[in-house]
Protein backbone atom coordinates (compact mmCIF):
# COMPACT_ATOMS: atom_id res chain seq x y z
CA UNK A 1 0.00 0.00 0.00
CA UNK A 2 2.87 2.35 0.78
CA UNK A 3 4.08 1.91 -2.78
CA UNK A 4 0.73 3.20 -4.08
CA UNK A 5 0.45 6.38 -2.03
CA UNK A 6 3.69 7.99 -3.11
CA UNK A 7 4.42 11.40 -4.60
CA UNK A 8 4.57 10.09 -8.16
CA UNK A 9 1.14 8.45 -8.02
CA UNK A 10 -0.43 11.44 -6.27
CA UNK A 11 0.84 13.66 -9.10
CA UNK A 12 -0.62 11.27 -11.67
CA UNK A 13 -3.98 11.28 -9.86
CA UNK A 14 -4.04 15.08 -9.83
CA UNK A 15 -3.35 15.37 -13.56
CA UNK A 16 -5.88 12.61 -14.30
CA UNK A 17 -8.54 14.52 -12.31
CA UNK A 18 -7.87 17.71 -14.26
CA UNK A 19 -8.11 15.82 -17.53
CA UNK A 20 -11.05 13.47 -16.96
CA UNK A 21 -13.17 14.66 -14.06
CA UNK A 22 -14.11 13.24 -10.68
CA UNK A 23 -16.02 10.06 -11.55
CA UNK A 24 -13.37 8.57 -13.83
CA UNK A 25 -10.70 9.57 -11.31
CA UNK A 26 -12.53 7.74 -8.50
CA UNK A 27 -12.73 4.60 -10.65
CA UNK A 28 -9.05 4.81 -11.56
CA UNK A 29 -8.09 5.38 -7.93
CA UNK A 30 -10.15 2.39 -6.76
CA UNK A 31 -8.41 0.17 -9.29
CA UNK A 32 -5.01 1.45 -8.24
CA UNK A 33 -5.75 0.64 -4.59
CA UNK A 34 -7.71 -2.60 -5.01
CA UNK A 35 -5.78 -4.13 -7.91
CA UNK A 36 -2.15 -2.96 -7.75
CA UNK A 37 -0.83 -5.09 -10.60
CA UNK A 38 2.54 -6.69 -9.80
CA UNK A 39 2.59 -4.90 -6.43
CA UNK A 40 4.87 -7.62 -5.07
CA UNK A 41 7.29 -7.37 -8.01
CA UNK A 42 10.99 -7.74 -7.38
CA UNK A 43 13.61 -7.71 -10.09
CA UNK A 44 15.76 -10.80 -9.72
CA UNK A 45 19.22 -10.63 -11.24
CA UNK A 46 20.23 -13.83 -13.08
CA UNK A 47 22.45 -15.99 -10.92
CA UNK A 48 26.22 -15.76 -11.33
CA UNK A 49 26.28 -19.34 -12.63
CA UNK A 50 23.71 -18.43 -15.29
CA UNK A 51 25.62 -15.29 -16.25
CA UNK A 52 28.85 -17.29 -16.51
CA UNK A 53 27.10 -19.85 -18.70
CA UNK A 54 26.03 -17.00 -20.98
CA UNK A 55 29.60 -15.69 -21.17
CA UNK A 56 30.85 -19.12 -22.26
CA UNK A 57 28.34 -19.60 -25.09
CA UNK A 58 29.78 -20.15 -28.56
CA UNK A 59 27.97 -18.07 -31.13
CA UNK A 60 27.31 -19.15 -34.71
CA UNK A 61 27.62 -15.51 -35.71
CA UNK A 62 28.80 -12.51 -33.72
CA UNK A 63 26.06 -9.94 -34.31
CA UNK A 64 27.29 -6.54 -33.16
CA UNK A 65 24.88 -4.27 -31.29
CA UNK A 66 25.37 -0.52 -31.46
CA UNK A 67 23.83 1.09 -28.37
CA UNK A 68 23.21 4.75 -29.10
CA UNK A 69 22.91 7.18 -26.18
CA UNK A 70 22.04 10.85 -26.77
CA UNK A 71 23.63 12.49 -23.73
CA UNK A 72 23.10 15.94 -22.28
CA UNK A 73 24.68 17.14 -19.04
CA UNK A 74 24.24 13.63 -17.66
CA UNK A 75 24.77 13.26 -13.92
CA UNK A 76 27.88 11.28 -13.07
CA UNK A 77 26.01 8.80 -10.88
CA UNK A 78 23.60 8.02 -13.73
CA UNK A 79 26.23 7.88 -16.46
CA UNK A 80 28.54 5.52 -14.58
CA UNK A 81 25.68 3.06 -13.99
CA UNK A 82 24.76 3.21 -17.68
CA UNK A 83 28.31 2.51 -18.88
CA UNK A 84 28.87 -0.17 -16.27
CA UNK A 85 25.69 -1.92 -17.44
CA UNK A 86 27.33 -2.29 -20.88
CA UNK A 87 30.65 -3.43 -19.46
CA UNK A 88 28.80 -6.07 -17.45
CA UNK A 89 27.05 -7.56 -20.49
CA UNK A 90 27.57 -11.31 -20.86
CA UNK A 91 27.46 -10.83 -24.63
CA UNK A 92 30.70 -9.11 -25.70
CA UNK A 93 29.96 -7.90 -29.23
CA UNK A 94 28.73 -4.34 -28.80
CA UNK A 95 29.69 -0.71 -29.11
CA UNK A 96 28.41 2.18 -27.00
CA UNK A 97 27.93 5.32 -29.09
CA UNK A 98 27.70 8.47 -26.96
CA UNK A 99 26.32 11.47 -28.88
CA UNK A 100 26.96 14.32 -26.45
CA UNK A 101 25.14 17.62 -26.85
CA UNK A 102 26.27 19.03 -23.49
CA UNK A 103 27.54 22.59 -23.30
CA UNK A 104 30.04 21.50 -20.63
CA UNK A 105 32.61 18.70 -20.63
CA UNK A 106 30.86 16.76 -17.86
CA UNK A 107 30.07 13.75 -20.08
CA UNK A 108 33.44 13.78 -21.85
CA UNK A 109 35.31 13.72 -18.56
CA UNK A 110 33.31 10.71 -17.51
CA UNK A 111 33.97 8.91 -20.80
CA UNK A 112 37.68 9.59 -20.48
CA UNK A 113 37.76 7.41 -17.37
CA UNK A 114 37.08 4.31 -19.47
CA UNK A 115 39.71 2.60 -21.62
CA UNK A 116 37.41 0.10 -23.33
CA UNK A 117 37.58 0.80 -27.08
CA UNK A 118 33.97 -0.26 -27.51
CA UNK A 119 32.97 3.00 -25.82
CA UNK A 120 32.92 5.69 -28.50
CA UNK A 121 32.42 9.33 -27.59
CA UNK A 122 31.29 12.01 -30.07
CA UNK A 123 30.88 15.67 -29.14
CA UNK A 124 28.05 17.31 -31.09
CA UNK A 125 28.43 20.87 -32.31
CA UNK A 126 25.14 21.95 -30.75
CA UNK A 127 22.07 20.65 -28.97
CA UNK A 128 19.67 20.17 -31.88
CA UNK A 129 17.02 18.27 -29.91
CA UNK A 130 16.61 14.63 -29.01
CA UNK A 131 15.84 13.39 -32.54
CA UNK A 132 18.67 15.17 -34.34
CA UNK A 133 21.12 14.35 -31.56
CA UNK A 134 20.16 10.67 -31.76
CA UNK A 135 20.43 10.70 -35.55
CA UNK A 136 24.04 11.84 -35.30
CA UNK A 137 24.72 8.89 -33.03
CA UNK A 138 22.95 6.53 -35.43
CA UNK A 139 25.15 7.77 -38.28
CA UNK A 140 28.21 6.71 -36.27
CA UNK A 141 26.82 3.25 -35.45
CA UNK A 142 28.48 0.32 -37.21
CA UNK A 143 26.70 -2.69 -35.68
CA UNK A 144 24.29 -5.16 -37.26
CA UNK A 145 21.53 -3.93 -34.94
CA UNK A 146 21.06 -0.53 -33.33
CA UNK A 147 19.54 -0.15 -29.88
CA UNK A 148 18.58 2.98 -27.97
CA UNK A 149 19.33 3.76 -24.35
CA UNK A 150 18.31 6.94 -22.51
CA UNK A 151 21.21 8.61 -20.74
CA UNK A 152 19.79 8.03 -17.26
CA UNK A 153 18.58 4.42 -17.73
CA UNK A 154 20.50 1.14 -17.91
CA UNK A 155 20.41 -2.45 -19.14
CA UNK A 156 20.36 -5.74 -17.28
CA UNK A 157 23.59 -7.80 -17.73
CA UNK A 158 21.85 -10.36 -19.93
CA UNK A 159 20.13 -7.84 -22.23
CA UNK A 160 22.30 -8.24 -25.33
CA UNK A 161 22.74 -11.97 -24.77
CA UNK A 162 18.96 -12.44 -24.90
CA UNK A 163 18.72 -10.31 -28.03
CA UNK A 164 21.47 -12.28 -29.78
CA UNK A 165 19.96 -15.59 -28.67
CA UNK A 166 16.57 -14.64 -30.12
CA UNK A 167 18.18 -13.62 -33.42
CA UNK A 168 20.06 -16.92 -33.55
CA UNK A 169 16.92 -18.97 -32.83
CA UNK A 170 15.03 -16.97 -35.45
CA UNK A 171 17.67 -17.77 -38.04
CA UNK A 172 17.29 -21.47 -37.24
CA UNK A 173 13.59 -21.15 -38.14
CA UNK A 174 14.36 -19.06 -41.25
CA UNK A 175 12.89 -15.97 -39.58
CA UNK A 176 14.54 -12.62 -40.14
CA UNK A 177 13.64 -10.13 -37.42
CA UNK A 178 13.44 -6.46 -38.35
CA UNK A 179 13.46 -5.53 -34.71
CA UNK A 180 13.25 -7.10 -31.29
CA UNK A 181 12.00 -5.77 -27.97
CA UNK A 182 11.89 -6.86 -24.34
CA UNK A 183 9.95 -6.27 -21.15
CA UNK A 184 11.07 -3.46 -18.85
CA UNK A 185 10.59 -2.09 -15.35
CA UNK A 186 11.09 1.17 -13.50
CA UNK A 187 13.56 1.97 -10.77
CA UNK A 188 13.87 4.81 -8.32
CA UNK A 189 16.38 7.63 -8.71
CA UNK A 190 19.00 5.65 -6.82
CA UNK A 191 18.54 2.40 -8.73
CA UNK A 192 17.69 0.55 -5.52
CA UNK A 193 13.98 -0.18 -5.83
CA UNK A 194 12.37 -1.76 -8.90
CA UNK A 195 8.65 -1.58 -9.60
CA UNK A 196 5.90 -1.26 -12.24
CA UNK A 197 7.19 -3.97 -14.56
CA UNK A 198 5.79 -3.82 -18.08
CA UNK A 199 5.25 -7.43 -19.12
CA UNK A 200 4.46 -6.98 -22.78
CA UNK A 201 2.58 -9.03 -25.34
CA UNK A 202 4.07 -10.56 -28.46
CA UNK A 203 3.74 -8.11 -31.31
CA UNK A 204 0.10 -7.06 -31.53
CA UNK A 205 -0.51 -4.62 -34.36
CA UNK A 206 -3.75 -3.08 -33.16
CA UNK A 207 -2.59 -2.84 -29.56
CA UNK A 208 0.46 -1.00 -30.88
CA UNK A 209 -1.92 1.40 -32.64
CA UNK A 210 -3.19 2.44 -29.20
CA UNK A 211 0.14 3.13 -27.50
CA UNK A 212 3.89 2.64 -27.78
CA UNK A 213 3.95 -0.47 -25.64
CA UNK A 214 7.24 -1.58 -27.26
CA UNK A 215 9.21 1.33 -25.78
CA UNK A 216 12.35 -0.13 -24.05
CA UNK A 217 14.46 -2.18 -24.74
CA UNK A 218 14.40 -2.39 -28.52
CA UNK A 219 17.01 -3.10 -31.18
CA UNK A 220 16.40 -2.58 -34.88
CA UNK A 221 18.26 -3.71 -37.97
CA UNK A 222 21.04 -1.27 -38.78
CA UNK A 223 19.93 -0.56 -42.33
CA UNK A 224 16.29 -0.07 -41.31
CA UNK A 225 17.04 2.42 -38.55
CA UNK A 226 19.61 4.29 -40.59
CA UNK A 227 17.16 4.55 -43.47
CA UNK A 228 14.26 5.80 -41.35
CA UNK A 229 16.04 7.86 -38.68
CA UNK A 230 14.21 10.14 -36.29
CA UNK A 231 12.10 13.14 -37.26
CA UNK A 232 12.59 16.23 -35.13
CA UNK A 233 8.98 17.34 -35.51
CA UNK A 234 8.06 14.31 -33.38
CA UNK A 235 10.45 15.06 -30.51
CA UNK A 236 9.06 13.50 -27.36
CA UNK A 237 7.43 10.67 -29.30
CA UNK A 238 10.37 10.01 -31.59
CA UNK A 239 10.55 6.33 -30.59
CA UNK A 240 6.86 5.74 -31.35
CA UNK A 241 7.22 7.55 -34.66
CA UNK A 242 10.18 5.50 -35.87
CA UNK A 243 8.65 2.23 -34.60
CA UNK A 244 5.42 2.98 -36.46
CA UNK A 245 7.31 3.69 -39.66
CA UNK A 246 9.40 0.55 -39.18
CA UNK A 247 6.20 -1.48 -38.77
CA UNK A 248 4.91 0.08 -41.99
CA UNK A 249 8.09 -0.89 -43.85
CA UNK A 250 8.11 -4.45 -42.51
CA UNK A 251 4.39 -4.86 -43.20
CA UNK A 252 4.95 -4.02 -46.86
CA UNK A 253 7.61 -6.73 -47.03
CA UNK A 254 5.56 -9.36 -45.18
CA UNK A 255 1.77 -9.15 -44.57
CA UNK A 256 2.32 -11.48 -41.60
CA UNK A 257 4.30 -8.79 -39.83
CA UNK A 258 4.14 -10.72 -36.56
CA UNK A 259 6.83 -13.01 -38.03
CA UNK A 260 9.30 -10.15 -38.43
CA UNK A 261 9.11 -8.64 -34.92
CA UNK A 262 10.31 -10.56 -31.89
CA UNK A 263 9.25 -10.05 -28.28
CA UNK A 264 11.59 -11.33 -25.56
CA UNK A 265 9.47 -11.87 -22.42
CA UNK A 266 12.12 -10.84 -19.92
CA UNK A 267 12.90 -7.55 -18.17
CA UNK A 268 16.09 -6.32 -19.84
CA UNK A 269 15.81 -2.57 -19.23
CA UNK A 270 15.55 -0.42 -16.10
CA UNK A 271 13.77 2.91 -16.69
CA UNK A 272 14.93 5.37 -14.05
CA UNK A 273 12.28 7.64 -12.53
CA UNK A 274 13.06 11.07 -11.13
CA UNK A 275 11.30 14.44 -11.05
CA UNK A 276 12.08 15.35 -14.66
CA UNK A 277 11.33 11.97 -16.22
CA UNK A 278 8.15 11.22 -18.17
CA UNK A 279 7.87 7.94 -16.27
CA UNK A 280 7.43 9.78 -12.97
CA UNK A 281 5.54 12.85 -14.19
CA UNK A 282 3.30 12.32 -17.24
CA UNK A 283 2.69 16.07 -17.60
CA UNK A 284 6.40 16.93 -17.75
CA UNK A 285 6.32 16.20 -21.47
CA UNK A 286 2.75 16.92 -22.52
CA UNK A 287 4.04 17.70 -26.00
CA UNK A 288 5.21 14.09 -26.29
CA UNK A 289 1.65 12.78 -26.28
CA UNK A 290 0.57 15.31 -28.90
CA UNK A 291 3.50 14.19 -31.05
CA UNK A 292 2.51 10.55 -30.54
CA UNK A 293 -0.98 11.30 -31.79
CA UNK A 294 0.42 12.96 -34.91
CA UNK A 295 2.80 10.06 -35.54
CA UNK A 296 -0.07 7.59 -35.33
CA UNK A 297 -2.19 9.72 -37.67
CA UNK A 298 0.72 9.66 -40.13
CA UNK A 299 0.75 5.85 -39.98
CA UNK A 300 -3.00 5.73 -40.61
CA UNK A 301 -2.72 8.13 -43.55
CA UNK A 302 0.20 6.20 -45.05
CA UNK A 303 -1.95 3.05 -45.13
CA UNK A 304 -4.66 4.91 -47.05
CA UNK A 305 -7.18 4.34 -44.27
CA UNK A 306 -9.90 6.94 -43.86
CA UNK A 307 -9.66 7.33 -40.10
CA UNK A 308 -8.69 9.77 -37.39
CA UNK A 309 -6.93 9.38 -34.07
CA UNK A 310 -8.44 10.38 -30.74
CA UNK A 311 -6.82 10.53 -27.31
CA UNK A 312 -8.16 8.30 -24.55
CA UNK A 313 -8.63 9.03 -20.85
CA UNK A 314 -5.08 7.98 -19.95
CA UNK A 315 -2.34 10.12 -21.51
CA UNK A 316 -0.29 8.40 -24.16
CA UNK A 317 -3.15 6.10 -25.23
CA UNK A 318 -5.09 6.52 -28.45
CA UNK A 319 -7.99 5.13 -30.44
CA UNK A 320 -8.20 4.92 -34.22
CA UNK A 321 -11.73 5.79 -35.38
CA UNK A 322 -12.38 4.24 -38.80
CA UNK A 323 -14.76 5.95 -41.20
CA UNK A 324 -17.58 3.49 -41.88
CA UNK A 325 -16.14 1.02 -39.37
CA UNK A 326 -12.94 -1.03 -39.41
CA UNK A 327 -14.13 -3.35 -42.22
CA UNK A 328 -14.60 -0.39 -44.56
CA UNK A 329 -10.90 0.51 -44.27
CA UNK A 330 -9.00 -2.70 -43.55
CA UNK A 331 -9.00 -5.93 -45.51
CA UNK A 332 -6.72 -7.62 -42.95
CA UNK A 333 -9.43 -7.64 -40.26
CA UNK A 334 -11.63 -10.73 -40.48
CA UNK A 335 -13.95 -10.19 -37.54
CA UNK A 336 -14.71 -7.81 -34.70
CA UNK A 337 -16.06 -8.41 -31.23
CA UNK A 338 -16.80 -6.20 -28.21
CA UNK A 339 -17.10 -6.74 -24.49
CA UNK A 340 -20.21 -7.43 -22.44
CA UNK A 341 -20.90 -6.48 -18.85
CA UNK A 342 -22.61 -9.04 -16.61
CA UNK A 343 -23.16 -8.47 -12.89
CA UNK A 344 -20.82 -5.48 -13.04
CA UNK A 345 -17.95 -7.47 -14.50
CA UNK A 346 -16.35 -7.72 -17.93
CA UNK A 347 -17.13 -10.62 -20.24
CA UNK A 348 -14.81 -10.00 -23.15
CA UNK A 349 -15.62 -12.88 -25.47
CA UNK A 350 -11.96 -13.06 -26.57
CA UNK A 351 -9.27 -15.56 -25.63
CA UNK A 352 -5.52 -16.08 -25.34
CA UNK A 353 -3.46 -18.95 -26.80
CA UNK A 354 -4.32 -21.20 -23.85
CA UNK A 355 -8.06 -20.60 -24.29
CA UNK A 356 -8.45 -18.33 -21.26
CA UNK A 357 -10.92 -15.47 -21.61
CA UNK A 358 -9.09 -12.16 -21.46
CA UNK A 359 -10.07 -9.71 -18.69
CA UNK A 360 -12.83 -12.01 -17.41
CA UNK A 361 -14.20 -10.91 -14.06
CA UNK A 362 -12.58 -7.48 -14.12
CA UNK A 363 -14.95 -4.80 -12.71
CA UNK A 364 -16.53 -2.87 -15.56
CA UNK A 365 -15.01 0.47 -14.40
CA UNK A 366 -11.44 -0.89 -14.37
CA UNK A 367 -9.06 -0.51 -17.29
CA UNK A 368 -6.87 -3.52 -16.45
CA UNK A 369 -3.12 -4.02 -16.47
CA UNK A 370 -1.46 -1.30 -18.58
CA UNK A 371 -5.08 -0.29 -19.45
CA UNK A 372 -5.34 -3.19 -21.90
CA UNK A 373 -8.97 -3.94 -21.01
CA UNK A 374 -10.05 -0.66 -22.64
CA UNK A 375 -7.73 -0.83 -25.66
CA UNK A 376 -8.39 -2.20 -29.15
CA UNK A 377 -6.19 -5.18 -29.92
CA UNK A 378 -5.74 -8.37 -31.92
CA UNK A 379 -6.70 -11.65 -30.24
CA UNK A 380 -6.19 -15.36 -30.88
CA UNK A 381 -9.84 -16.35 -30.68
CA UNK A 382 -13.28 -14.87 -30.07
CA UNK A 383 -16.85 -16.05 -29.51
CA UNK A 384 -18.20 -16.72 -32.98
CA UNK A 385 -21.78 -16.19 -31.82
CA UNK A 386 -20.89 -12.65 -30.70
CA UNK A 387 -18.62 -11.51 -33.50
CA UNK A 388 -19.34 -9.66 -36.71
CA UNK A 389 -17.58 -11.01 -39.78
CA UNK A 390 -16.06 -8.81 -42.45
CA UNK A 391 -18.59 -9.08 -45.33
CA UNK A 392 -15.71 -9.44 -47.79
CA UNK A 393 -14.70 -12.85 -46.40
CA UNK A 394 -18.06 -14.43 -45.56
CA UNK A 395 -17.88 -16.60 -48.66
CA UNK A 396 -14.35 -17.71 -47.76
CA UNK A 397 -15.44 -18.78 -44.28
CA UNK A 398 -18.49 -20.59 -45.71
CA UNK A 399 -16.23 -22.49 -48.11
CA UNK A 400 -13.89 -23.45 -45.28
CA UNK A 401 -16.78 -24.74 -43.19
CA UNK A 402 -18.16 -26.81 -46.07
CA UNK A 403 -14.79 -28.34 -46.85
CA UNK A 404 -13.69 -28.90 -43.27
CA UNK A 405 -17.02 -29.66 -41.59
CA UNK A 406 -16.27 -33.36 -41.31
CA UNK A 407 -12.94 -32.61 -39.63
CA UNK A 408 -14.38 -30.25 -37.01
CA UNK A 409 -15.38 -32.33 -34.06
CA UNK A 410 -16.17 -31.65 -30.43
CA UNK A 411 -17.87 -28.70 -28.77
CA UNK A 412 -18.80 -25.33 -30.16
CA UNK A 413 -15.62 -24.06 -28.48
CA UNK A 414 -13.57 -26.49 -30.61
CA UNK A 415 -15.36 -25.29 -33.73
CA UNK A 416 -14.72 -21.68 -32.76
CA UNK A 417 -11.03 -22.36 -32.16
CA UNK A 418 -10.56 -24.05 -35.53
CA UNK A 419 -12.30 -21.26 -37.44
CA UNK A 420 -10.22 -18.62 -35.67
CA UNK A 421 -7.03 -20.61 -36.27
CA UNK A 422 -7.87 -20.85 -39.95
CA UNK A 423 -8.39 -17.10 -40.24
CA UNK A 424 -5.18 -16.15 -38.44
CA UNK A 425 -3.15 -18.66 -40.49
CA UNK A 426 -4.50 -17.00 -43.62
CA UNK A 427 -3.05 -13.73 -42.38
CA UNK A 428 -6.28 -12.18 -41.13
CA UNK A 429 -6.57 -10.41 -37.79
CA UNK A 430 -9.28 -10.81 -35.17
CA UNK A 431 -10.04 -7.37 -33.79
CA UNK A 432 -11.35 -6.73 -30.29
CA UNK A 433 -12.76 -3.29 -29.63
CA UNK A 434 -14.04 -3.03 -26.03
CA UNK A 435 -16.47 -0.26 -27.06
CA UNK A 436 -17.91 -2.16 -30.04
CA UNK A 437 -21.62 -2.99 -29.98
CA UNK A 438 -22.99 -5.52 -32.46
One-character DSSP codes across 89-120: -SS--EEEEEEE--SSSHHHHHHTT---TTEE
pLDDT band at 252 (very low <50, low <70, confident <90, very high): very high
Mean pLDDT score of the chain: 89
242-267: burial string, b at 16+ Cβ within 10 Å, e else? bbbbbbeebbeeeeebbbbbbbbebb
pLDDT at position 30 is 63
Contact status, residue 94 vs residue 164, Cβ threshold 8 Å: no
Q: What confidence score (pLDDT) does residue 122 get?
A: 96
Q: What φ, ψ does residue 123 adopt, rounded to 5°?
A: -85, 125
Distance CA 268, CA 218 (A): 10
pLDDT given for residue 1 in this prediction: 44
Would you list the domain boundaries of the chain? 1-36, 48-272, 324-432
Predicted model pTM = 0.90
Q: What does the buried/exposed string (b/e) look like for 330-347 if buried means 16 or more CB atoms within 10 Å of the residue's CB?
A: bebbbbbbbbeeeeeebb
Taking the C-alpha atoms of residue 81 and residue 431, their distance in angstroms, rounded to an integer, is 42
- Of the candidates 161, 214, 138, 162, the residue with the CA atom closest to the CA atom of residue 183: 214
**Is residue 277 very low, low, confident or very high in pLDDT (cuts 50, 70, 90)?**
low
Per-residue pLDDT tens over the stretch 171-188: 999 999 999 999 999 998
Q: Write down the pLDDT at residue 250.
A: 96
The span from the CA of 435 to the CA of 217, in Å, is 31
Superfamily of domain 48-272: Spore Coat Polysaccharide Biosynthesis Protein SpsA; Chain A (3.90.550.10)
Percent of the chain with pLDDT over 70: 87
**pLDDT (tens digit, 9 = 90+) per residue, 192-247?**
899 999 999 999 999 999 999 999 999 999 999 999 999 999 999 999 999 999 99
Of 55-59, 192-196, 334-338, 407-411, where does mean pLDDT reach its minimum?
407-411
Q: Of 12-26, 60-74, 262-276, 423-437, where does mean pLDDT reach its minimum?
A: 12-26
SS3 70: strand
Amino acid sequence: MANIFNVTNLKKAYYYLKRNGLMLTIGAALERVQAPYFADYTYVLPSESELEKQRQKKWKKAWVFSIVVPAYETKEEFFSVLVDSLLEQTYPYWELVIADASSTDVVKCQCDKYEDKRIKYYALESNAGISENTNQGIEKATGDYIGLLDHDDYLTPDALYEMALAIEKGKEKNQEYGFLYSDEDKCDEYGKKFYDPHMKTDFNLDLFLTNNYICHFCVMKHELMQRLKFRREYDGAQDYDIFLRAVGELWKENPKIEETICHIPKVLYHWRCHNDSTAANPQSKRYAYDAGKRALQDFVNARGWKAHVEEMAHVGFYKVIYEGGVFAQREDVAAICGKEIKSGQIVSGVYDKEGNMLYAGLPFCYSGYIHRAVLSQNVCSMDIDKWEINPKIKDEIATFLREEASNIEGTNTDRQKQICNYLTKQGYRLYWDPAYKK
